[in-house]
Amino acid sequence: MSHLTDAQLAELKEELEAQLAKLQKSMAVSDEATKRVELDQTAVGRLSRMDSLQSQGMAQGLREREALRQALILQALERMETGTYGSCTACGGGIAFERLFIFPESATCAACTG
């Protein structure tokens, strides 16, 4: 973490915490949308059920992406606590502040990412 200043670390931590709070609110909404679809043949028409199933599938996909992002943010916050935040988990080099500013949950530098 030596290449990041205290001010940069504070800014990145604040951003990670803000993103986590926003994500948790979004996940609560996604959870509601992924509840089971009522398949009672008399309740709604066939197209309505198909639309409901499709919407449920899209909501489940969103929920999975949100859970992954939440895990990445929590891992980044944990790396901050252990003093390894800002160091590439692949090569050990420093991750540029500019990259962390855009993707604060990044665990790898641009060279190791792809």
User: Residue 41's pLDDT is what?
Assistant: 55
Q: Where are the domains of the chain?
A: 6-113
Please state the rounded mean pLDDT for residues 36-55.
65
- pLDDT digit string (tens) for 62-88? 889 999 999 999 999 999 999 999 999
d(CA 106, CA 110): 9
For 6-113, CATH gives 1.20.120.910
- pTM passes above 0.85: no
| CA dist list (Å): 13 to 20, 47, 89 | 10, 46, 18
